[in-house]
Structure 1
Amino acid sequence: MSTVAQLLQPVESDLEQLLSDLRALIGAGHPILQAAAEHLFSAGGKRLRPGIVLLLSRALDPAGELSLRHRRLAQITEMIHTASLVHDDVVDEANTRRGVPTVHSRFNSRVAVLAGDFLFAQSSWHLANLDDLEVVKLLSRVIMDLAEGEIRQGLFRYDTGQSLETYLEKSYWKTASLMANSAKAAGVLSELERDQLNQLHSFGRQLGLAFQIVDDILDFTGSDDQLGKPAASDLASGTLTAPVIYAMEEHPSLAVLIEREFSEPDDLDQALDLVRQSQGIQRARVLAESMARESTTNLKFLPASASRDALMDLPDFVLSRLY
């Protein structure tokens, strides 16, 4: 099974270039923000999102080349993603991410909020400078969706009435919108036809949703090390994901524990047992598998190349995290 580094191998040098370019772009003369940004862009992330943009950009070019505008789009994608993580960590009060101290635990929450804002502002500025209104609209939409996803997550805490559709919509905003719209934006810069642009959007949407569902399954099955955060932290904070929504159908008593916000001593442990005894995790796995497999049916129009092969292997990589 491929690791993400093996998968992104066709664009490995592009990603190295991307990180050094990002550090240069962020060098804004604010020592603390610069330190925060340095910390962010050296923290061992997977770089999957800009990697997808780079792979698509090379796969779409007849000579497999990468234009400066596609490079910049990948940088903007990583800036937006990183900004959202900084804000997420403040909202979730997480002290580490992937074993690295979060910005707010290393500096403070005020610096973290400002660093996130700063990265969103930077990404907007570089986005405007691409001088392509459709690309600006696609990625501005992502920034709106990220905020909408966070707000919805807050509003739906401990809400046992939410449906699977509500969960998928929120997951789209929080995770899949960036993959879908940045993939489509790569196609816009490559001057693709409308139906192919829509296929790129569907590819990113399905892959992003599968990725989020896998993350949500790992919250119940993974170790703290594997997750880079404490296991079962979503449920503990009232965020109800696919395994929980399915488990509540089988065990109505689970909803009672959630509605009283795990106020009794053993409530959380009982809730975890109910989720793990139910078919919830298995059903969520089936859902993730069908979405991941469906995603690459949208890439059939790409000509054969190493980049296309890597893109076609992405669903296996996303699902391999479960095993």
Structure 2
Amino acid sequence: MRARALSAAGLTIRRTPSTSVCSQCLRDDLLLTQTLIQSRKFHPTRRRDVSPFGAAATAAQAIFKGMPKAPPGISVDPLRIVGKELKFLTKNIRQLLGSGHPALDKVAKYYTRSEGKHMRPLLVLLMSQATALDPRKHTSDSPNPRSVDSSFSSLSILDDANPDSNPLVAPSAESQYDFAGDDNILPAQRRLAEITELIHTASLLHDDVIDNAVTRRANSSANLAFGNKMAVLAGDFLLGRASVALARLRDPEVTELMATVIANLVEGEFMQLKNTAQDEAKPIYTDETLDYYLQKTYLKTASLISKSCRSAAVLGRSAPEVIEAAYAYGRNLGLAFQLVDDMLDYTLTEAELGKPAGADLELGLATAPLLFAWKSNPELGPLVGRKFRNEGDVQRAREIVYHSNGVEQTRVLAQDYADTAVAAISDFPDSEAKSGLIEMAEKTMKRRK
């Protein structure tokens, strides 16, 4: 579809072999954006119309065509739409994390003391609502009526003591969620939102050890407060409890999706350890350099968002085309989110960021703004090769990026992904939840931290 659009404009996309479907998608997105920038047909400060995202959004259009539309132009607050559900999120997560070992209990719950942005569970809940209006539910395959807390095996066999839960009481399907929440959000979808946050928090615990972080959410990082060993073990514990909760959703497809997220996080981290496709042996910018970076970004950031959005639609028994559209939204929004994050490291002060400015460079990471700058400034190559270890390397790299269009090109690419995310759900029935998903894409581009 994008190739035809470019052809009509007198432009072309250069196709190259790729090792995976995801890499090819990322390559096409990147080449399209770069071509439009160079041809001046894509103005970096103006939103552009985007066609529906491939076959997924086209099919979704066929499903929703002709349905009544809600009044347009109403500004919504995504947090308000699912506020009742989010109000109980931290409480339910802490219940999932209870441990009979006092030290483990304390470390496992450490990052739940301070409220995070909860972006990922927020997206799950909004997508659950937005896809609830799907007129072609799989009615013959209704969700499992058993509680999301019901175990398969005897608790004595599992030997997984959790003092914050009450295993002596057989819970009903609704017992974990006894508040007046939205009827369009199933208990399994609420639990999915909690699982998503557990996986994300586990990744924070592990990342802070890898990065030698000193702060997190305005407090001392867990690795600084308790040591690396306890922080790593607490992250493992969170993944274990997330896996148990995931199994109790009793949906093999969702289990498969969310389990691959955990593998993707590790794969992305290994890619980041190399930093670029050429590693340190041959620090020369090539056509594969940014492609490699975007693939790493998908694995580390966008995979969790895309697969949790898809899982929300799967749990709601949405039609296959709607499930694909939900995935496309999450994939593109996740990439936009990380690109904006990379950009902020170059545009905000330390006080605004809540962490040292230039932290990525200090860690030896060449992110999107620098990679765009590197393409026209080959003198960055040696700095990338030695991962900015020499005195003055970080400052020199920042100066080169500032005097190039690397930050602006990053913003343009992020906007392209955000626009594509919105296009993927453009034919969902109008609703507050759909407006909330659109607003999340806009907030992603406007965020300052």
Deviations 1:4-54 (A, max 9, x none): x94321111201111111111111212122212332112231000000001
User: Does the aligned pair in 1 maintain the 2:353–2:448 contact within 8 Å?
Assistant: no
User: Does the aligned pair in 1 maintain the 2:78–2:433 contact within 8 Å?
Assistant: no
Q: Distance in 2 between matches of 1:262 and 1:74?
A: 38
- Equivalent position amino acid for 2:121 in 1: P
Moved more, 223-232 or 245-254: 223-232
**DSSP 3-state at the match of 1:302:** coil
Q: How does 1:238-257 map to 2 (within 5 A)?
A: 238-257=364-383
Moved more, 42-51 or 150-159: 150-159
- Offset at residue 235 of structure 1 (A): 1.5
Structure 1 match to 2:127: 56
Tell me the TM-score normalised to structure 2 length.
0.68
Q: Distance in 2 between matches of 1:264 and 1:71?
A: 48
Relative distance call for 1:33 and 1:302 in structure 2 (3 A) is: farther
Residue 142 of structure 1, aligned match among 232, 242, 261: 261
Moved more, 162-171 or 205-214: 162-171
Structure 1 match to 2:143: none
User: Does the aligned pair in 2 maintain the 1:98–1:227 contact within 8 Å?
Assistant: no
**DSSP 3-state at the match of 1:313:** helix
Structure 1 match to 2:355: 229
Q: Distance in 1 between matches of 2:351 and 2:122?
A: 24
Q: Distance in 1 between matches of 2:108 and 2:117?
A: 16
Q: Distance in 2 between matches of 1:301 and 1:64?
A: 22
Q: How does 1:102-141 map to 2 (within 5 A)?
A: 102-141=221-260
Residue 106 of structure 2, aligned match among 32, 35, 47: 35
Deviations 1:128-176 (A, max 9, x none): 1111100001001100000111111012266444611101100000000
User: Does the aligned pair in 2 maintain the 1:103–1:112 contact within 8 Å?
Assistant: yes
Structure 2 match to 1:219: 345
Q: Distance in 1 between matches of 2:184 and 2:99?
A: 30
- Equivalent position amino acid for 1:284 in 2: T
Residue 164 of structure 1, aligned match among 276, 283, 290: 290
Q: How does 1:178-197 map to 2 (within 5 A)?
A: 178-197=304-323
Q: How does 1:243-322 map to 2 (within 5 A)?
A: 243-321=369-447
Query: For the aligned residues, what is the CA RMSD?
Result: 1.8
User: Does the aligned pair in 2 maintain the 1:79–1:123 contact within 8 Å?
Assistant: yes
Structure 2 match to 1:66: 185
User: Does the aligned pair in 2 maintain the 1:246–1:280 contact within 8 Å?
Assistant: yes
Tell me the TM-score normalised to structure 1 length.
0.94
Q: Distance in 1 between matches of 2:125 and 2:183?
A: 10
Rg bigger for which structure?
2
In the alignment, structure 2 segments of 5+ residues that lack a partner are 1-75, 134-181
Aligned-pair identity (%): 39
User: Does the aligned pair in 2 maintain the 1:200–1:299 contact within 8 Å?
Assistant: yes
Relative distance call for 1:107 and 1:313 in structure 2 (3 A) is: same
Q: Distance in 2 between matches of 1:229 and 1:30?
A: 32
- Offset at residue 64 of structure 1 (A): 5.0
Q: Distance in 1 between matches of 2:389 and 2:184?
A: 57
How many residue pairs get aligned? The number is 319
User: Does the aligned pair in 2 maintain the 1:214–1:322 contact within 8 Å?
Assistant: no
